[in-house]
């Protein structure tokens, strides 16, 4: 069973979500929770971006002891100097330096030749190694880079001393088959790649970030980059909780695991949502309000008889107290009777039938039926619960 290391970029890429601006205190609170979650590496920010970002990275590096703290840096010496200033007192530190490699970026953003990109990438890695034992190099827009050239870049930075090489799907363009192929080719053709961690970083523009991440793991990636709740630029990043639970639930397929404390997932998700102001959609996998909720009568009946009929993950596994049987117009008699028992009622069959009929009538009038509504309904002779 391989262990996949988790690189969390909630505090860097996640904070780049439009409208998100975390204070130092808020970043610290999230960082400490990520440490409790068991994240291997926390990308605390981009030290050269602002004095505030540098300070927050310094404080996180000072207080977090059980996760490696990372600062992003362009392939520029002044950025690397700032990263060292922010991280020099960390228990464990990593420099994350990046440079775009795709033809689109080389031509329109960098105005560099292939040779110039490699020269700059190598120079940045070598300069970073003066300060940092652990240097990660990211080929920005790697998924849209010509594969033979991408292998040249990776070979050059590995030779220069990079210990982690990241191939980002920066704009969420690739497919699982294509992305997995990149990692297989790198493993086959780059000298010394067996001594380097191969990392994947996927965006969700086409809704395939998690699928692409899992394809990279199958192809040999040993580090996953992503965010809590999948927040980030544009449509966001790969959702770390989804990746972790896919590996945990389907060990038979992936033969891989993380060191995450899975029962801290719900707490981490709620904290990130509260502090960023980005609400988690109800239908979000793993952490959404409806992820362990059942309203269909057929589903409720199945879950009450044997939970695995409709649940592949127990809610307690990720830190929720229990599943929820939501009473509504699709609910069946079994779930209604179970709710009455929970509320302390034991009705005769005729009383149950009458109460269930009035419950169904009520459901046609209200969007949400509460416990108080059911108590009032059972105690009444007619469905006189106010509509709202």
Q: What is the pLDDT of residues 9-38, one digit of tens each?
A: 999 999 999 889 999 999 999 999 999 999
Average pLDDT (292-300) is: 71
**Helix residue ranges per DSSP H, 161-284:** 176-189, 209-218, 240-249, 251-254, 265-276
CA distances (Å), 375 to each of 38, 165, 220, 327, 378, in order? 43, 60, 56, 13, 5
CA distance 97 to 131: 13
276, 24 Cβ separation under 8 angstroms: no
Split at pLDDT 50, 70, 90, the class of 380 is low
pLDDT given at position 38: 98
Query: Is the pLDDT reported for residue 118 higher than 90?
Result: yes
Least confident of 12-16, 47-51, 330-334: 330-334
CA distance 161 to 98: 14
CA distances (Å), 63 to each of 37, 89, 232, 377, in order? 15, 10, 25, 54
Query: Is the pLDDT reported for residue 58 higher than 60?
Result: yes
Domains present along the chain, CATH in parentheses: 2-276 (3.20.20.70), 293-379 (no CATH)
Average pLDDT (258-277) is: 96
Percent of the chain with pLDDT over 70: 94
The encoded tokens of residue 61 equal 């590096």
pLDDT given at position 353: 85
Average pLDDT (149-154) is: 98
pTM of the model: 0.87
């Amino acid at each position: 069973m391989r262990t996949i290391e988790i690189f969390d970029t909630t505090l860097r890429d996640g904070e780049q979500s439009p409208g998100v601006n975390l204070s130092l205190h808020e970043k610290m609170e999230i960082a400490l929770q990520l440490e409790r979650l068991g994240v291997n590496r926390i990308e605390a920010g981009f030290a050269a971006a602002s004095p505030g970002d540098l300070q927050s990275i310094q404080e996180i590096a000072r207080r977090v002891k059980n996760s490696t703290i990372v600062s992003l840096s362009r392939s520029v010496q002044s950025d690397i100097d700032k990263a060292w200033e922010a991280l020099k007192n960390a228990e464990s530190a990593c420099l994350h330096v990046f440079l775009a490699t795709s033809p689109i970026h080389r031509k329109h953003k960098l105005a560099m030749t292939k040779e110039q990109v490699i020269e700059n990438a190598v120079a940045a890695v070598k300069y970073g190694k003066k300060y940092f034992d652990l240097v990660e190099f990211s080929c920005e827009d790697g998924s849209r880079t010509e594969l033979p050239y991408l292998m040249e870049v990776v070979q050059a930075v590995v030779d220069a001393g990079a210990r982690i090489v990241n191939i980002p799907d920066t704009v969420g363009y690739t497919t699982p088959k294509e992305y997995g192929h990149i990692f297989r080719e790198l493993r086959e053709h780059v000298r010394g790649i067996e001594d380097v961690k191969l990392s994947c970083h996927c965006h969700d523009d086409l809704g395939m970030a998690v699928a692409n991440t899992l394809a990279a793991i199958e192809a040999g990636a040993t580090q996953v980059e992503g965010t809590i709740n999948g927040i980030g630029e544009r449509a966001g990043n790969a959702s770390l909780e989804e990746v972790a639970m896919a590996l945990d639930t389907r060990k038979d397929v992936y033969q891989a695991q993380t060191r995450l404390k899975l029962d801290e997932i719900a707490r981490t998700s709620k904290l990130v949502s509260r502090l960023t102001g980005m609400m988690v959609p109800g239908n979000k996998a793993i952490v959404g309000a409806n992820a362990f909720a059942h309203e269909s009568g057929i589903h409720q009946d199945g879950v009450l008889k044997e939970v695995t009929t409709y649940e592949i993950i127990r809610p307690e596994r990720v830190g929720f107290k229990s599943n929820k049987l939501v009473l509504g117009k699709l609910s069946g008699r079994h779930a209604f009777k179970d709710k009455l028992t929970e509320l302390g009622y034991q009705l005769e069959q005729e009383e149950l039938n009458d109460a269930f009929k009035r419950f169904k009538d009520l459901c046609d009038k209200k969007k949400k039926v509460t416990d108080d509504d059911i108590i009032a309904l059972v105690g009444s002779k007619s469905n006189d619960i106010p509509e709202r």
